[in-house]
C-alpha cells in the first residue's frame, strides 16, 4: 500500500469536520477524502441495521478513492457498525469510541465521567464497555442529547435556544459531580461554547476528534504509511445532498473557503 494514498473520513453530516480539523493539524501532509451523508442525517435516531447499511455504503464510496485508512467520524456508526465494517473491508478502520474513552480515563481526577451522545450511541453501551475495560473503578453517567445534531446542522451554534437546550440536557450530569465530559458525537464540539457555559470552566472536555487523530497517526506510522512529502495536501469534500449548507458550516468552522461535490 502506498503512503501517498489518501485518508478517508465519513460522518452523517458536518460533525466529522471536527475530525478533519484535527487530522489536518496533526498530519498536514496527508490528503483527505471526506464524505458527509447529509441526505440521511441524523444517524442517532435510526436502527443498527440501517446505520450499518449506510456505513457500508459510505465505506464503499471512499474505497473508490483508493484510501489507505478510513476513519468512522460518527459515534453512532462507530458504536453500531465498526466491528462489522472491519470484517468486511481490509483497509484499516478507526472509530471514535475507544480513543475518546481512553482520553477520558487518562484525564479524570475523581473517576466520575459523563458522556453525552445520540440515543443510538448511548443505548449501545459502547462507551461504558470501553471505559470499564480500561478502568473498572470509574463511574460513568450518560445523557442523550438528540436535538444537538439538528442544531449543529442548522448552524445554530451559540443562539439562545441552543443554550436553553443545553441547560436542560446537561442538568442531570451537573448533579453527578463529574469532572470529565466526553463529547460523544463529533457534532458536539461545535457546540462547545454552549456546553462549557453550562458545565463550567473547571470541567475537562474530551473531544474524540483529537484522540482519534492521535490514533490515526500512530497506526499509519506503525504501518509505514505516513506520507513523507513536505507539501501540504488537499482535503476534498463530498456530500449526499445539497452542499450549500455544508459548505457554509465548513467555512465557518474550518475558517477557510471550501467546496463540496454532491455524490452522484
Catalytic residues: 74, 185
C-alpha–C-alpha distance, residues 20 and 247, integer Å: 14
- Cell output for 40: 440521511
The sign of the dihedral angle between the CA atoms of 26, 32, 36, 42 is negative
C-alpha–C-alpha distance, residues 167 and 94, integer Å: 32
C-alpha–C-alpha distance, residues 264 and 262, integer Å: 6
In degrees and rounded to multiples of 5, residue 80 shows phi and psi of -105, -25
Q: Enumerate the H helices of 75-199 as residue ranges.
A: 75-88, 97-107, 119-124, 126-134, 148-154, 160-175, 192-199
Q: What is the per-residue burial (b if ≥16 Cβ within 10 Å, else e) of 176-192?
A: eebebbbbbbbbbbbbe
Amino acid at each position: 500500500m502506498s503512503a501517498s494514498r489518501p485518508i478517508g473520513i465519513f460522518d452523517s453530516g458536518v460533525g466529522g469536520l471536527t475530525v478533519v480539523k484535527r487530522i489536518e493539524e496533526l498530519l498536514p501532509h496527508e490528503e483527505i477524502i471526506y464524505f458527509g451523508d447529509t441526505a440521511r442525517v441524523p444517524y442517532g435516531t435510526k436502527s443498527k441495521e440501517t446505520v450499518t447499511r449506510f456505513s457500508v455504503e459510505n465505506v464503499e464510496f471512499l474505497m473508490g478513492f483508493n484510501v489507505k485508512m478510513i476513519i468512522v467520524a460518527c459515534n453512532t456508526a462507530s458504536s453500531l457498525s465498526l466491528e462489522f465494517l472491519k470484517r468486511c473491508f481490509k483497509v484499516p478502520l478507526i472509530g471514535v469510541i475507544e480513543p475518546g474513552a481512553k482520553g477520558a480515563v487518562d484525564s479524570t481526577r475523581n473517576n466520575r465521567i459523563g458522556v453525552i451522545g445520540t440515543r443510538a450511541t448511548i443505548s449501545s453501551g459502547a462507551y461504558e464497555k470501553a471505559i470499564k475495560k480500561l478502568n473498572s473503578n470509574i463511574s460513568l453517567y450518560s445523557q442523550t442529547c438528540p436535538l444537538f445534531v439538528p442544531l449543529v446542522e442548522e448552524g445554530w451554534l451559540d443562539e439562545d435556544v441552543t443554550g436553553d437546550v443545553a441547560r436542560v440536557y446537561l442538568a442531570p450530569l451537573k448533579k453527578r459531580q463529574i469532572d470529565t465530559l466526553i463529547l460523544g458525537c463529533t457534532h458536539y464540539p461545535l457546540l462547545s461554547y454552549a456546553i462549557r457555559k453550562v458545565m463550567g470552566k473547571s470541567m475537562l472536555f474530551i473531544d474524540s476528534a483529537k484522540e482519534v487523530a492521535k490514533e490515526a497517526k500512530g497506526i499509519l506510522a506503525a504501518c509505514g504509511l505516513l506520507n513523507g512529502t513536505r507539501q501540504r495536501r488537499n482535503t476534498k469534500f463530498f456530500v449526499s445532498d445539497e452542499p450549500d449548507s455544508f459548505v457554509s458550516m465548513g467555512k465557518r468552522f474550518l475558517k477557510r473557503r471550501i467546496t463540496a461535490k454532491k455524490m452522484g
